[in-house]
Structure 1
Amino acid sequence: MASGPDNALPHVAWLSLRAFCRLAVCGIDLHVTGLEHVPTRGPVVLAARHYHYTYDGIAIYALIRRELRAVAALDWLPPGRLRGLLRTACQAAGWPSVLREPLRGMNDRETERERRLLLLQASREAVDLLRAGNALLIFPEAYPVVDPHISHCRAEGEMLPFQPGTARFAVLAARGLSASIPVVPIGLRYTRGRRWRLDVAFGEPVLIGPESDLDERLATLESSVRRLSGL
């Protein structure tokens, strides 16, 4: 997508982040298959397994050649100035930002209100990005396996149920475009050793159209990501 006055800053942010990721990925033994399934132009959602809190995004950003935005979680930082700065940075980079639903228990009333307002705004931003022909990275599980900011939430070989936002963003964008949105499943498989080995597998896109059954499409997508991850 061409950069103009309104999107120059997100483009610069993407260039800078991709340059960093291409350097950082040198610390991983990275292997990739199926990259040809990612469209080189037009709207696309990349839906990836979430295993490692940093390596997942670093690897995908290093591999994708086209400009890429991502849905970012803010709640790994406590409420206050730092979280506010992170949200501002996400806005500057053109990243929709959310507060994830808690893994256990419930939010207090004020936090839940903020979470819903952010989700509504993120939905609008994600749909606008797709309608403008952008690529959007989402981790539908929301939480990774390896993350020092949260307590252990699942075993190594388990996946959390996919959140419905991934399919909902795509179907809303599809209605605005009167065309299907490809959602590319991405499997991630880590092998521990002296260096992490990471196998990234891109699968055939799951097409989501204006009238798609969200539950069925989400189940198909989750099954594809699980299979590509060797689970």
Structure 2
Amino acid sequence: MLYQVVKFAAAPLAHAMCRPHITGAAHVPRKGPAILAANHLSILDSFLLPALLPRRVTFTAKNEYFDGNPVSGFFMRLGGSLPIDRESAHAAQAMLDSAAELLERGELFGIHPEGTRSPDGRLYRGKVGVAWLTLKTGAPVLPVALTGTDRVLPVGSSVPRPARIGISIGEPMRFAGDHTDARDRRRVTDEIMQAIQRLSGQEYVPAYAASVKAANGVSKDEDRKD
């Protein structure tokens, strides 16, 4: 119920502020499980997809969005986002287990395989949690490319500004393999990232975004603002 209230309020605002151009919405199943695997340009990404798509989409969100900012924490809780501690492997697995249960109930789950916002607009190497989920549950993956969300809320800004965004949703992808096999997880993740890159047109970087941020001197406190 709370999710519907938030969505009712957020959808008109998202349309007015972002003037979204959405392609491939028909690929989102009307019922049954699916994983929306999206690139990550802005903190708004995990707000906009649930607001603009007809079905409920549950995303992950780092703990700082819940605890560090009362406004984002309020909406994250109302929207049903799953918190994740990016520093804890145990917490990350617990989140994946919760996501798998959600998919097994026939719901939609959203994830940013890059793990953190892109530091420069390029597409970075995906983490293998998305592959674990699809191989574990059999749920199809819908690659999603977001464009322009970094112009709506640039890094360091706390006030959104009007800008047109694009959302491109690709055809469902299904995979065979063993979710416990590291090579299968890596292969599937790379295929998903390639599909996102084809939709987004971003330059691909075969490195983790978090590692690039660390190498460029972005502290954990600064990264929490992403």
Give the TM-score taking structure 1 as reference length.
0.70
Letter in 2 for 1:165: G
Larger Rg: 1
Which residue of the other structure, out of 194, 200, 206, is the alignment partner of 2:173? 206
Which blocks of at least 5 consecutive residues in structure 2 are unaligned?
A: 153-160, 203-226
Which residue is equivalent to 1:75?
A: 64
Instruction: Tell which deviates more after alignment, 192-201 or 117-126.
Output: 192-201
| 8 Å CA contact retained: 1:97, 1:118 | no
| 8 Å CA contact retained: 2:50, 2:56 | no
Letter in 2 for 1:19: F
Which residue of the other structure, out of 11, 14, 19, is the alignment partner of 1:22? 11
3-state secondary structure, aligned to 2:35: strand
Structural RMSD (CA): 2.8
3-state secondary structure, aligned to 1:187: strand
Which residue of the other structure, out of 75, 89, 107, is the alignment partner of 1:116? 89
1:187 maps onto 2:179 in alignment: no
Which residue is equivalent to 1:161?
A: 125
Structure 1 residue 128 displacement after superposition: 0.5
Count of residue correspondences: 186
3-state secondary structure, aligned to 1:197: coil
| 8 Å CA contact retained: 2:104, 2:137 | yes
C-alpha distance 77-18 of structure 1, shift in aligned 2 (>3 A): closer
Identity %: 24
Structure 1 residue 76 displacement after superposition: 4.8
Instruction: Tell which deviates more after alignment, 207-216 or 160-169.
Output: 207-216
Which residue is equivalent to 1:177?
A: none
Structure 1 residue 133 displacement after superposition: 0.6
1:227 maps onto 2:201 in alignment: no
Paired with 1:47 and 1:21, the residues of 2 have a C-alpha distance of 21
Paired with 1:139 and 1:96, the residues of 2 have a C-alpha distance of 13
3-state secondary structure, aligned to 1:225: helix
Paired with 1:210 and 1:20, the residues of 2 have a C-alpha distance of 41
Paired with 1:78 and 1:135, the residues of 2 have a C-alpha distance of 25
- 1:141-156 correspondence runs (5 A): 141-145=114-118, 154-156=119-121
C-alpha distance 125-33 of structure 1, shift in aligned 2 (>3 A): same
Paired with 1:95 and 1:27, the residues of 2 have a C-alpha distance of 22
| 8 Å CA contact retained: 2:3, 2:80 | no
Which residue is equivalent to 2:137?
A: 173
3-state secondary structure, aligned to 1:155: coil
Cα-to-partner distance string for 1:125-150 (whole Å, 9 max, x where unaligned): 111001111100111112224xxxxx
Which residue of the other structure, out of 62, 83, 107, is the alignment partner of 1:134? 107
Which residue is equivalent to 1:151?
A: none
Structure 1 residue 93 displacement after superposition: 5.5
| 8 Å CA contact retained: 2:66, 2:83 | no
Which residue is equivalent to 1:5?
A: none
1:66 maps onto 2:66 in alignment: no
Give the TM-score taking structure 2 as reference length.
0.72
Which blocks of at least 5 consecutive residues in structure 1 are unaligned?
A: 1-11, 102-114, 146-153, 175-180
